[in-house]
Structure 1
Amino acid sequence: MDRVKFVDSDAHVVEPDSLWDNYLESRYKGRIKSHLAYERATKPTDPWTINVSVEVDDFPPQPMRRAQNEKEDTEPEPLREAVGAEVFTMGVEEYYGRWQERGFDAETYRQVMDLSGIDRMILYPTVGLWSTSSPDMEPEFAAAVRRAYNTWLGDFTRDIGGRAYGAASIDLRDPEAAAQEVRRCVTEYGFKSVHLNPSPVPGRRVYDPECDQVWAACAELNVPVGVHPSASNGLDMGMIPYYLPDLRNVQGTVAFSIGSMLCCSAFIMGGVLERHPGLRVAFLEAGAGWASYWPERMMSGINGGNRGLKINGLTKSPQDYFAEQCFIAADQDDPGIPLVAQTVGEQVLLTATDFGHPEGYRYQTASRDFMNVPGVTDETKKRILWDNGVRAYGF
């Protein structure tokens, strides 16, 4: 098969533990620390572990659970007092061992793109997924944490030297600071996206008028909002422990998928896309299938009673907003791909490797695997791999 061009719409950096010491403003140093590493197993037969933790001084102890290797017949031990922490165990040495030895440096990403046939890569956080998820974090501190991460990422993408682009990470506690950060990151570093966690920060929703300046900046600068969730973070604690306190095996799935659907509702039904017709929103790592159902259900309401009726405050249907201004990333073997292409349109579909995270271990074959998806034509697959990513990220 001939090589196809590929925009990797969602890959991840592996931030160094020294990030905050080197980049956080001096008045905030010591208030946040993080640890992120792939750790070699003590026995050759054991899997590697990726250990991610973020600790903030004012966040109360949060019981996390350690993923069991094969079974959950023992009481999970507390992991640490953390804003967010996640431990994955799987045999990843084959896929990530050499990159861990390099410390996931800039050369790692150059080599991975060459090995995997990736023409453009958008880099989202790992530690940064949790770094401002303390509910009680004051706005000034949250903004400083995001600035520190973004400055580090700007330096890191410069070291990579092209083809890999950062996603500016923002916090909406201070919308004015967030809008300024979007402008700084795009103009100074050439970032191609703006990362937003779908879990709302206290007292702020994406459809609040105060946030319009953020979305206006994104539209003006031709960068999308990349909605990328994180599981087990402090801002999810209202939903996950209430509904699923003991179901570790599905908490992450709910946080990612349901969280993204709620955020989609806020952008569409809250009038954000109506007020900002030039704004693009990409929903990442939450599966694609829900896009074939949820926009139509937002319009049709309970038992379809509102189907076809005008929605107050909107001039279009939710399906039209999604089809015209939204994108959604599909796994390489996502069964929802043909359904979304049929019901919403192929133009909304993206795909990604999730490189940097254990579940992204198929990064080297991602584009080839995607070309084997059943139910859509090869020409459609090529457009999803390249053309849609070019449009989504404004290349």
Structure 2
Amino acid sequence: MPDYGPLLPVIDSDAHVVEPFDMWKERLPSEFHSVARRREVDDNGREQLYHLGKALDLEWTVGTLSTPGSASRTGRLDFDLDEDVDAGAYDPERRLALMDEQGIAMSMLFPSITLGLDDVTDPDYRQAHARAYNDWIADFCLLDPIRLRWGAVLPVYDPAWARAELERCIRKGASCAMLSPLPRAKPSGQFADPTRADQCRNVGTRDLDPIYELLADNGKPAVVHAVNPASNALGIGWVFGNRTQWQMGQPFQIQLAMVHMIDGGVFERFPTLRVGFFEGDVGWLPHWLGRLTETYEKFALLSREPQRPPLETFRRQCYISGEPADLGLALTAQHIGAGRILWASDWPHMDGAWPDPVVILRDRPDLSAEQKRQILVDGPAEFFAVDMPELMGHLGPGWALDARVEDHPGMGIPESLST
């Protein structure tokens, strides 16, 4: 067996769980059982999903969504959740073993099914759904709350409720708040025309200031994470087919949210608030910040809120998650600093980087060893305010802050080093 040295304590800033379907009936109040998410499998093994009392017309199974590379390499869209998906997607003990196998010290966990919460317009059910997920993921992480971290899902249609839920989740151990980037009409919760400020609530409106204030006061970041609504959000959704949602929807959501927060003056009102923009790629960011800077200078008199130059704002308070194979990673690192890019595996989603997501970044020739370390460890630790002495003491002697990125072995790490 090769003689591996200590492991660098890699932090996975954007990983996912797959919520068990029986969780909804177990944790939702009984009045919502008839509309709760449900999965049925017929005698031929065909899966049918139900939500809001209706059958969902999807091209793939939940198992396909939860299997890396499923739609690209295997030619199959019928992976079975029970038979084919790694249990680490929903079992914390297996998840920790998988992290050991990959050399990942800590994972920040976000949902899968609940990324479709934007489709829910009933306010009571929407809040109950979010609360049920938050309770479940809090319990999931109790097995090892130092290595398994979670973000509180916060639908913000009712900002007062969202602030109260955030307070509750912080008490339960949440490391951040996850917000949808999509604009919403006030107060219906339907998708809104983002050009109508009088009708629209978005992540930049002052309605959300109580949430940002609570996050800033507690040193917790906001994560604006791309979502997967079945509705035709931003005119991009399923009307053009599922692939288009992945090609365009996620980056467009994040670009729009970034503009809302910068032009909305959020960073001026909360100069200590950290904000991460997740799962929208990174290669477009230099162009986008350049465009925002140009319009900031040429249309200064049209701004509704006082603001600093967008690039200055981003470098001071913002971060963006990047998957290891992103073609624009090196250019973006040069433009904003590698410490503002947070490494993400996106596991177990079908479009994530797996196996060996650390090795994919390790072997990139266009990034220096120092830049790789910033993306894998230093940036995520800063963004999530990770107590690194606590994490290192918990991990034990098989890990070291001064370990070299280029020595990270990936899969096949000896059990004696990873435990």
Instruction: With the length of structure 1 as denominator, give the TM-score of the two structures.
Output: 0.80
Q: Distance in 2 between matches of 1:103 and 1:385?
A: 21
Match of 2:15 in 1: 11
Query: In 2, are the aligned partners of 1:371 and 1:381 still within 8 Å (CA)?
Result: yes
Bigger mean CA deviation after superposition, 316-325 or 370-379: 370-379
Is 1:367 aligned with 2:367? no
Q: Distance in 2 between matches of 1:52 and 1:197?
A: 26
Shift of 1:30: 2.3
Q: Distance in 1 between matches of 2:151 and 2:40?
A: 19
Match of 2:409 in 1: none
Match of 1:215 in 2: 212
Shift of 1:56: 1.7
1:144 to 128, 137, 140: 128
Change (3 A) 1:315 1:231: closer
Match of 2:225 in 1: 228
Cα root mean square deviation, aligned: 3.3
Is 1:195 aligned with 2:178? yes
2:327 to 331, 335, 346: 335
Letter in 1 for 2:108: I
Query: In 1, are the aligned partners of 2:11 and 2:107 still within 8 Å (CA)?
Result: yes
SS at match of 1:324: helix
Q: Distance in 2 between matches of 1:237 and 1:170?
A: 18
Match of 2:148 in 1: 164
Is 1:128 aligned with 2:132? no
Change (3 A) 1:261 1:118: same
Match of 1:394 in 2: 385
Letter in 2 for 1:156: F
Shift of 1:314: 2.5
SS at match of 2:12: strand
SS at match of 1:359: coil
Q: Distance in 1 between matches of 2:334 and 2:50?
A: 41
Shift of 1:326: 0.9
Query: In 1, are the aligned partners of 2:182 and 2:233 still within 8 Å (CA)?
Result: no
Equivalences for 1:283-362 in 2 at 5 Å?
283-301=277-295, 306=298, 313-360=305-352, 362=354
Is 1:177 aligned with 2:181? no
Match of 1:74 in 2: none
Equivalent residue pairs, number: 357
Q: Distance in 1 between matches of 2:361 and 2:348?
A: 19
Query: In 2, are the aligned partners of 1:172 and 1:201 still within 8 Å (CA)?
Result: no
Query: In 1, are the aligned partners of 2:289 and 2:310 still within 8 Å (CA)?
Result: yes
Shift of 1:308: 8.8
Q: Which has the higher contact order (CA 8 A, sep 6+)?
A: 2
SS at match of 2:15: strand
Query: In 2, are the aligned partners of 1:260 and 1:286 still within 8 Å (CA)?
Result: yes
Deviations 1:309-359 (A, max 9, x none): 995523411111111111111121212122112222222111111112122
Q: Distance in 1 between matches of 2:270 and 2:176?
A: 16
Shift of 1:252: 1.8
Bigger mean CA deviation after superposition, 121-130 or 18-27: 18-27
Shift of 1:229: 1.5
Q: Distance in 2 between matches of 1:52 and 1:239?
A: 26
Shift of 1:371: 1.6
Change (3 A) 1:104 1:98: farther
SS at match of 1:233: coil
Letter in 2 for 1:122: M
Shift of 1:133: 2.1
Letter in 2 for 1:275: R
Task: State the identity %.
Answer: 26
Shift of 1:238: 4.3
Q: Distance in 1 between matches of 2:211 and 2:17?
A: 24
**Structure 1 unpaired stretches of 5+:** 43-48, 68-78, 80-84
Change (3 A) 1:220 1:35: farther
SS at match of 2:342: strand
Is 1:118 aligned with 2:104? yes
Deviations 1:188-207 (A, max 9, x none): 2x111211221223322222
Letter in 2 for 1:276: F
Deviations 1:274-316 (A, max 9, x none): 2111211111121111221112211212xx9718999552341
Q: Distance in 2 between matches of 1:120 and 1:246?
A: 37
Letter in 1 for 2:315: A
